[in-house]
Amino acid sequence: MNATILSLCLAAAAVPAAPAPETALVSFELREGDRLLGSPTLQVRLGEPASVRIAGTNGYALTVTVERANADFLVRSSFYRPDGGGWRLVASPALQVAPGQQSRVAFGLTPAHGLSVTVR
């Protein structure tokens, strides 16, 4: 009996664990004109959408998907601002970002919005 239990334990230990999903740490800086709206950092699974939402007049919502692009990352995002009782899409920029480097994009006219992204 003890030999059977030992055999089952050894067999279970020999089964490889499923590989953990590949993740990235993504840091953002969101601006409206000269004003910093927020600087969230998200741990994301590559290829899966992630989001953050801050309510209120100065709030924002950000949805992001990060994928590999050769040695870089492709960051697809949607940036929202409060509008009445809902959310208004401001922009949906996609940026190619080298690991550990910062990429920036500006969009909109008045006030101009800015988005900076760093992926680690």
What pLDDT is attached to residue 55? 86
Two structure tokens written together for 51: 């989001």
What pLDDT is attached to residue 7? 45
What pLDDT is attached to residue 6? 40
Q: Residue 38, CB half-sphere, CA atoms under 13 Å: how many? A: 18
Residue scoring higher pLDDT (32 or 48): 48
Residue scoring higher pLDDT (29 or 5): 29
**pLDDT exceeds 80 at position 15:** no
The answer to whether 54 and 39 have CB atoms below 8 angstroms apart is no
Two structure tokens written together for 35: 């004003």
10 pLDDT tier (thresholds 50, 70, 90):
very low
Nearest to 112 by CA among 31, 43, 11: 31
Lowest mean pLDDT among 11-15, 22-26, 71-75, 106-110: 11-15
35 DSSP 8-state letter: E
62-115: pLDDT as tens digits = 999 999 999 999 999 999 999 988 999 999 999 999 999 999 999 887 788 999
Residue scoring higher pLDDT (106 or 14): 106
Q: Where are the domains of the chain?
A: 21-119
Q: Residue 93, CB half-sphere, CA atoms under 13 Å: how many? A: 19
Q: Give the 3-state secondary structure of 39-93.
A: CCEEEEECCCCEEEEECCCCCEEEEEEEEEECCEEEEEEEEEEEECCEEEEEECC
16 pLDDT tier (thresholds 50, 70, 90):
low
